[in-house]
A and B are shown apart, each in its own frame.
Chain A
Amino acid sequence: MKCVIAFKWAKNPQDARVSADGAVDWRAAKMVASDDDAAAVVVARDLAVGDELVGLTVGDGDVAWAAARGATRTVSVADVEPNADSAVLGEVLAAGVRRIGGADIVIIGDGVWDQMVSMSLAGQLGWAVLAGVVSATAEGDRLHVTRKSGTGTEVIEVGTPVVLAVAARRAEDKPPGMKDVLAARKKPLEKVAMADLGVTSVGGVTLRGTALPEAADARIFDGADPEGAVEQLMTALRSEGVL
């Protein structure tokens, strides 16, 4: 089935710099693929067997990430910034999927850094969608999708077109080797702008500002004297009312 893998659409908060006045500086942070993206591309590769796997990405950062992991070509919408309104990125990605055309399945990382972009993408495509996906197999023209449910899992049968938001359980096991990374740079890359896709939305959320959280400092007892530290801890727990 023809699959689109949407990848690298967020910045890693660990790359942001927070200054003493609580201001956040994202300038040094580029968009990067997350652990969820890596899990998503594994699912995508299996479902796309015998058909095309197209990468779709936004913003800055490594556009060849999916091509190094099996995508045959990539579409990149470069002039995109993260937005607190997840519907903005959802709209950009949905427009990208329409531009690619003919996709049966869109696979995207569920998104630890923003868990609604993938959902909004599906909402704006008007497609069925499952979140918390662990794995999926094609059974004829339908899919059997295993997804998290409460503390267990469910296998759900669903037709296409469908969006699958995949949640990782670990970091990528086997990153591609140098050969694949170099070959990926030679694969076709189409760069488009938001305007080419007819997307003008700026979103419905404005950021008023950021501040340091009120210091909810932990009380740390010195365990050099285990009995003493434990005594202090028990007193503290008693006053918190949890003993």
Chain B
Amino acid sequence: MDSWIIVTEAGPVAGMAAAARELGGTVTAAVVGPRLLAESTAACGCDSVQWFSTLDSVPAESLALQVADLVAAASPRLVLALDDPAGRVLLAVAATRLGAALVSSVPGLSVEGDDLVVTRPAVEGKVVETLVVPGALAGVFDGEDVDVVSPVPAAITEVAPSGMAPSMRIIETTVAPGEAAGLQQAERVVSIGRGVRKREDIALVEELADAAHAKMACTLPICDDMRWYDESHVVGTSTQQIAPDLYIAVGVSGQPQHMSGVRAAKVIVAINNDPEATIFKKCHFGILGDLYEIVPALTAAFKRA
């Protein structure tokens, strides 16, 4: 059973390719974007790369039909894409062409006889559900990335442009604000929520971040309502997703819109004085206590470490 993966942005592409590998057949990547993206995908454990080069002014979505035609012609059993806006568009158009079932969250899958089986968290993580797909499946991959051991890069074939005038044009790009705070690359991140009472108190937490060699992040209300940090520091559904090794949330309640931004963090630590706070169900370690007492003690511990 062969698979395709659709890549329009950097992300856990190696994890996605590994999930597609579970089917045992070949894994072909359709990459829409710059040459660099095609090259990084080629080193992610797929068998071949079909590369659709785009101009800076053309969004990946405008090639949706062309990509779907190529994918459908191969009639794979499985197509996966990441959850960025363009990736989802291309996946849905390909799914329609293929007549495939479309599943909005596929962290991984297995094969049982002729069926594809997807096991995924549902109902906000309160349960794990098992889906059985007897036919073709198109899914959004939201599982973990993997390290590719000594990859032999796959061959890249450039697909000739269709000659059709693109139906869309990028006329303005704002400098990605997320980059300003450096959270995308950070190995350690300390974040604050509304548990911090006054602007002056941020210094206390920033000192912890310094001692832990961490970058500072925050919840949306700290940016939108309090205006203590700019948008580049906010993490969550409507802002940015990050993947540090260590995420220390200080005075953060742990609402799903925030936590979806740190789902890929390796270890999540919560400091909160409410034993009922949701974040205690979504973290790995927690300290139940007043942040004004815990943070200075933790800062001292990091300074000693």
Contact surface of A with B, Cβ cutoff 8 Å = 13-14, 16, 18, 22, 24, 84-87, 90, 111-112, 114-117, 119-120, 122-124, 128-132, 144, 147-159, 165, 167-170, 203-213, 216, 218-224, 226-227, 229-231, 233-234, 236-237, 240, 242-243
Contact A85 B129 (CB under 8 A): no
Cα A223 to Cα B175 in complex, Å, equals: 41
Counted as pairs of residues, one from A and one from B, with CB atoms less than 8 Å apart, the total is 263
Taking A115-B88, A204-B100, A223-B290 as contacts, is the C-beta distance between A128 and B168 under 8 angstroms? yes
If A205-B132, A218-B283, A231-B301 touch, does A242 touch B245 (CB 8 Å cutoff)? yes
A224–B176 Cα gap in the complex (Å)? Answer: 42
B150 at the interface (CB under 8 A from A): no
Contact: A226 with B122, CB < 8 Å?
A: no
User: Which chain B residue lies CB-closest to A151?
Assistant: B178
B35 smallest CB distance to A (angstroms): 18
Q: Show 17 A/B contacts (Cβ-Cβ < 8 Å), sorted by A.
A: A90-B102, A115-B105, A116-B102, A119-B92, A128-B62, A152-B174, A152-B178, A156-B169, A205-B103, A207-B129, A211-B128, A212-B127, A213-B121, A213-B128, A221-B288, A240-B267, A243-B246
> In this assembly, does B146 line the interface, its C-beta being within 8 Å of a C-beta of chain A?
no
Contact partners of A24 in chain B: CB under 8 A: 122-123, 126-127, 129
A130 touches B85 (CB 8 A): yes
Contact call B103/A86, Cβ cutoff below 8 A: yes
| A243 CB to nearest B CB, Å | 6
Q: How many Å lie between the Cα of A24 and that of B123 in the bound state?
A: 8
Q: Is B227 an interface residue (CB 8 A)?
A: no
B196 within 8 Å of A by Cβ? no
Please provide the chain B residues from 184 to 210 with a CB less than 8 Å away from any CB of chain A in the complex.
Answer: 184, 188
B285–A218 CB distance below 8 A: yes
Residue pair B102, A152 in contact (C-beta under 8 Å): no
Bound CA–CA A221/B284 (angstroms): 11
Q: Which residues 62-95 in B have Cβ within 8 Å of A in the complex?
A: 62, 64, 83-86, 88-89, 91-93, 95
Question: Which of A90, A156, A209, A236 contacts B285 (CB under 8 A)?
Answer: A236
Whole-angstrom distance between the Cβ of A206 and the nearest chain B Cβ: 5
- Contact between A205 and B131, CB atoms less than 8 A apart: yes
Contact yes or no, A210 B124, CB < 8 A: no
Q: Report which of B84, B104, B301 forms a contact with A114, defined as CB distance below 8 A.
A: B104
Nearest residue, chain A, Cβ from B124: A13
Which of A148, A220, A236 is most buried by chain B, counting CB atoms within 10 A of its CB? A220
A128 and B92 CA atoms in complex are apart in Å by 11
Other-chain contact of A112, B237, B246, B293, B305 (Cβ < 8 Å): B237
Q: Which residue of B lies closest to A234 (CB)?
A: B301
Contact A16 B85 (CB under 8 A): no
Given A13-B123, A150-B178, A213-B121, answer yes or no on A218-B131 (Cβ-Cβ < 8 Å). no
B107 CB-CB contact with A under 8 Å: no
Once the chains bind, are B170 and A156 in contact (CB under 8 Å)? yes
Within the assembled complex, what's the spacing in Å between the Cα atoms of A209 and B266?
A: 28
In the complex, the answer to whether A219 meets B130 with C-beta atoms within 8 Å is: no
Contact: A85 with B85, CB < 8 Å? no
A223:B293 contact, CB within 8 angstroms: yes
Contacting residues, chain A, for B168 (C-beta < 8 A): 128, 130, 156-158
Give residues of chain B (1-53) contacting chain A, Cβ–Cβ below 8 Å: 9
Tell me if B219 counts as interface (CB < 8 A to partner A): no
User: CB-CB < 8 A to B245: which residues of A?
Assistant: 242
Please give, as numbers and ranges, the residues of chain A lying within 8 Å of B117 by CB-CB distance.
208
Cβ contact within 8 Å between A119 and B88:
yes
CB contact between B102 and one of A87, A167, A169 (< 8 Å): that residue: A87
Question: Which residue of chain B is the closest to A213 with respect to CB atoms?
Answer: B128
Q: Give the docked Cα–Cα distance between A206 and B289 (Å).
A: 45
Are A154 and B305 in contact, with the CB atoms below 8 A?
Answer: no
List the 10 closest A-B pairs by CB distance, nearest first: A223-B289, A151-B178, A204-B101, A119-B92, A152-B176, A123-B96, A131-B85, A132-B85, A155-B172, A116-B104
